[in-house]
Amino acid sequence: MTDGAPLRPEGIPGLELTGPHPVGRYAGALRDKLRMFARVQVFGEVFGFKVGGARVWFELRDADGALPCGMWRREWEASGIGVLPDGCQVVAAGGCDFYPGSRSASPGFSFAVTELRRAGEGDLLAQLERLRRTLAAEGLFEPQKRLPRPALPRTIGVVTGEHGKARGDVLAGLRRRGWAGRVVWAFAPVQDRHAAPRIARALQDLAACPEVEVVVVARGGGSLADLFAFCDETLCRTVAMLRVPVVASVGHHTDRTLIDDVAAMSCSTPTHAAEAAVPVDCAAARDELHARAGRLQTHGRRAIVTRARHLAALSRAPADHVARHRARLHQQLRELRASARRGLTEENAAIGRRALVLSRKAAATGVSVQREQVRARAFAATVHSAAEGGLARRRTDLQRLLSTLDAHDPQRTLERGYARVEDPAGDSVTSAEEARRLDAMVLRLHDGAVHVRHLR
Amino acid sequence: MSDEPDIKITDNTALPSYEEACGRLETIIRRLDSGEAGLRETLELCQEGRHLVEVCAVELDAVGRGLEELRLDELVARLEARPQAE
């Protein structure tokens, strides 16, 4: 925002310089002055090519210096030159320009390019590509990648600049892994002409220590020229032949040095390289190990306890079976008793009923017996009286018969002086004739017998 | 059990590396989790597993005692001193 012409303050006392001038006016004058510089052609390598909404930007570099360059986007598109990779050598035509900026925008110097053409691959990149192809053809990118990388190295070698930011980044990466083993630092210069042999020597020394299991080579970002030490042929051949795996992190993720190709693994930052050197997250690994130990213990215990329970269940089975049978028998016994009790009760009731019936019948029978007894007694009385009458009659008859019988009794006759003659055989002799024939006879009188002999 | 040819009770006298121990431990736990191992195999695997847990714990302890920073020349000096000490 402009508020019209600003108030001019007093200048610095004692100075003879003109002014003070408003800075915007001075910046505008500077732009005008710079634009008056002669328009020229320059050449160099392109770095950091960016395409904006209206303009494209890049730096033009060589070993001695660099220029920030800008070009209208429509002119760049009209040239058909396309996006330029880093290191691409170009020839640019244009002149100096200055954007004076404003209260809300920064000023900036640029070389305003109006024409642009490629001048073939940059020397550095061309060299690099040739070397890359040679090393690849020799198979030197492979040996490192075949080396086994330990999951949990105890000792890690690190090659880096002693005072660079990469050193702290490596430690940060190791801490992120929860790794607290032994770090062996091999400090070396990482960007001048002497860097490559020193780095190679450091790597060889580290690899010579049997404790070192993996080596990290780390360097922060920089231009390709800065990183060129890591494209050194001898260094790359040394790395390819090392016995320990090398994890490289050189420059930004957009840079690709030859050591990145030769190493076992290439990472975008030193922190990532440290993490790659310790693939295991130690804290997580400890937790997991703890969990696994617990699982093993559980499995071991369960294997025994489960079987013990099964055995216990099996051993209980016969007892359970017997108990079930016992319970069933008890139940049956109870039912039997209950049934017997019920039967007895019913039987008692039936007997009671029968007894009642019988007693009733007996009572009825008693009446009839009484009646019969009365009848019997009456009959007996009748019989008795009848018998009494008959008896008297019979007694009279007998008396009469006895008298009759007495009248006919031979004994009575004998008692009256008569005798009975019997032969020896006891038969009665009733005639004289018969008596004459007999030699002996028996004269039976009323008081005894007299044997007589016939005299001749 | 006969369908599991890749799992064998291994001889645990040789000390495996951390990654070998972890890999084997994982195999053992997978086998135990499958529930197909019999009692004897289970107990043997548990014993071997405990040994491997010990191996891993020793390795993890070795990188958990605290960061030790050495310069290369210090390490070299130590290495050179060791044969003289012995």
CA dist B59 and B48 (Å) reads 17
Residue A182 is classified by DSSP as E
Cβ burial, residue A66 (10 Å; 0-12/13-18/19+): middle
CA dist A97 and A109 (Å) reads 6
Closest CA of chain B from A184, distance in Å: 5
Closest CA of chain B from A160, distance in Å: 12
For B53, the closest of A181, A184, A289 (CB atoms) is: A289
Beta A40-51 vs A55-62: how paired, if at all?
A: antiparallel
Residues with Cβ within 8 Å of A56's Cβ and at least 6 positions away in sequence, in order, are: A49, A50, A70, A71, A73, A76
The pLDDT of residue A440 is 86
**B chain contacts of residue A184, beta-carbon cutoff 8 Å:** 70-72, 75
**A chain contacts of residue B63, beta-carbon cutoff 8 Å:** 152-154, 179-181, 278, 282
A39-43, A129-133, A158-162, A403-407: least confident range: A403-407
For B70, the closest of A154, A184, A304 (CB atoms) is: A184
Tell me the CA distances in angstroms from A214 to A152, A187, A387, one per residue in order.
10, 16, 159
The pLDDT of residue B86 is 43
Average pLDDT, chain A: 87
- Identify which of A79-88, A123-132, A267-276, A440-449 has the greatest average pLDDT: A267-276
Please state, for a pLDDT cut of 90, what percent of chain A lies above it.
Answer: 38
Interface of B with A in 35-74 (CB under 8 A): 39, 42-43, 45-46, 49-50, 53, 56-57, 59-60, 62-72
**B chain contacts of residue A209, beta-carbon cutoff 8 Å:** 72, 75-76, 79
**What was the ipTM of the complex prediction?**
0.76
Tell me the CA distances in angstroms from A440 to A362, A432, A453, A454, B31, one per residue in order.
81, 13, 4, 6, 153
Q: Which residue has the tokens 């290439």?
A: A266
The pLDDT of residue A225 is 67
Q: For residues B20 and A406, which has the higher predicted lDDT (pLDDT)? A: B20
Closest CA of chain B from A155, distance in Å: 9
The pLDDT of residue A120 is 60
Summarize pLDDT for B40-77 with one digit per residue, the tens: 898 899 999 999 999 999 989 888 888 888 888 888 88
The pLDDT of residue A145 is 93
Summarize pLDDT for A74-96 with one digit per residue, the tens: 988 888 778 888 878 889 999 99
CB contact under 8 A, A289 and B39: no
Residues with Cβ within 8 Å of B49's Cβ and at least 6 positions away in sequence, in order, are: A292, A296, B25, B28, B29, B32
Element (H, E) at A306: helix A282-408
CB contact under 8 A, B39 and A307: yes
Average pLDDT over residues A229-247: 92
The pLDDT of residue A278 is 92
Q: Is A120 helix (H, G, I), strand (E, B) or coil?
A: coil
Whether A209 contacts A201, CB under 8 Å = no
Alpha helices by DSSP H, listed for A231-280, are: 233-241, 258-262, 270-277
For A303, the closest of B39, B56, B70 (CB atoms) is: B39
Interface of A with B in 166-185 (CB under 8 A): 171, 174-175, 178-185
Q: Is A117 helix (H, G, I), strand (E, B) or coil?
A: strand
Residue A428 is classified by DSSP as B
DSSP string, chain B: -TT-TT------SSPPPHHHHHHHHHHHHHHHHHT---HHHHHHHHHHHHHHHHHHHHHHHHTSS--EEEEHHHHHHHHHHHHHH-
Residue A282 sits at the chain B interface (C-beta within 8 Å): yes
Residues with Cβ within 8 Å of A382's Cβ and at least 6 positions away in sequence, in order, are: none
Chains A and B: how many Cβ contacts under 8 Å?
107
Closest CA of chain A from B12, distance in Å: 16
The pLDDT of residue B83 is 61
**B chain contacts of residue A295, beta-carbon cutoff 8 Å:** 29, 32-33
Sheet holding A182-187, edge to edge: A265-266, A246-250, A214-219, A155-160, A182-187, B68-71
Q: Is A359 helix (H, G, I), strand (E, B) or coil?
A: helix
Average pLDDT over residues A208-231: 84
Summarize pLDDT for A352-381 with one digit per residue, the tens: 888 889 888 888 888 888 888 898 888 888
Beta A108-118 vs A65-72: how paired, if at all?
A: parallel
Closest CA of chain B from A317, distance in Å: 23
Residue A387 has pLDDT above 70, yes or no: yes
Residue A1 has pLDDT above 50, yes or no: no
CA dist A343 and A349 (Å) reads 10
The structure tokens listed for A349 are 């009731």
Average pLDDT over residues A160-169: 88
**B chain contacts of residue A178, beta-carbon cutoff 8 Å:** 64
Residue A292 sits at the chain B interface (C-beta within 8 Å): yes
Could you tell me how many residues make up chain A?
456
Interface test with B, best of A152, A170, A298, A311 (most B CBs within 10 A): A152
Average pLDDT over residues A405-432: 83
For B43, the closest of A174, A289, A303 (CB atoms) is: A303
The pLDDT of residue B13 is 54
CA dist A427 and A430 (Å) reads 9
Cis peptide before A318 (omega within 30 of 0): no
Residue B32 sits at the chain A interface (C-beta within 8 Å): yes
**B chain contacts of residue A199, beta-carbon cutoff 8 Å:** none
Radius of gyration of chain A (CA): 80
Residue A305 has pLDDT above 60, yes or no: yes
